[in-house]
Structure 1
Amino acid sequence: MNGSSDAPTNGDEQTQLLTPAEVAQMFHVDPKTVTRWAQAGKLSYMRTLGGHRRYHRHEVIELLKESSGDA
C-alpha cells in the first residue's frame, strides 16, 4: 500500500486532481504551458498547502475533448 499520494485514489473523476506534469502529458505540451493556460483562465486550479497547482481531472478531460474537436 502506498501511503503518500497527491490525488485521491477513489477513482472519482469529479474529485481527482492532476499535477501540471500529468496535464502536460495528456496534451503533449510542456508543464509551463499548462501553467500559462491556468493563468489565462482556460483551466481552473486549486493550490495545495505547499503552493502547488492541481487541476480537476474532469475539467482537463473536457478541455482535451474541446481541443481535439478543433482540428
Structure 2
Amino acid sequence: MTVTPQTRPNSQEQLLTPGEVATLFRVDPKTVTRWATAGRIGSIRTPGGHRRFRESEVKTLLAELTNDVSHTA
C-alpha cells in the first residue's frame, strides 16, 4: 500500500488519513483512532468530520517509538 499524504490548502504541512498512519505503524486504522481519542497522537478534523494527522507529528512519534524499542532490545 502506498502512502499518499494530502496537502492542506495554504499550508506546507502534510496531512495523513488514519489508514495511512496505520500503514506506517503497521496497526489497524481503528487503533490509530483510539490513540487520537486517548490523546496519544494529535489529530484535526476536516469540515466533513474525518480525522487527519500531521505528518511531522506522526514521524516524530514513529521515531520515538522506534528509538524506545531499539534501546530496550
Q: TM-score, normalised by structure 1?
A: 0.81
Alignment correspondent of 1:8: 7
Shift of 1:34: 0.2
Runs of 4+ off more than 6 Å: none
Distance 1:62 1:42 in 2: 12
Match of 1:32 in 2: 30
Identity of aligned residues (%): 56
**In the alignment, what sits opposite 1:22?**
20
**Mapping 1:38-53, distance limit 5 Å:** 38-53=36-51
Unaligned segments of structure 2, at least 5 residues: none
Highest RCO, 1 vs 2 (Cα 8 Å, sep ≥ 6): 1
Corresponding pairs, count:
63
Name the structure 2 match of 1:58.
56
- Shift in Å at residue 7 of structure 1? 1.6
Alpha-carbon separation, structure 1, partners of 2:34 and 2:15: 18
Q: Give the alignment's Cα RMSD to 1 decimal.
A: 1.9
Displacement of 1:70: 1.5
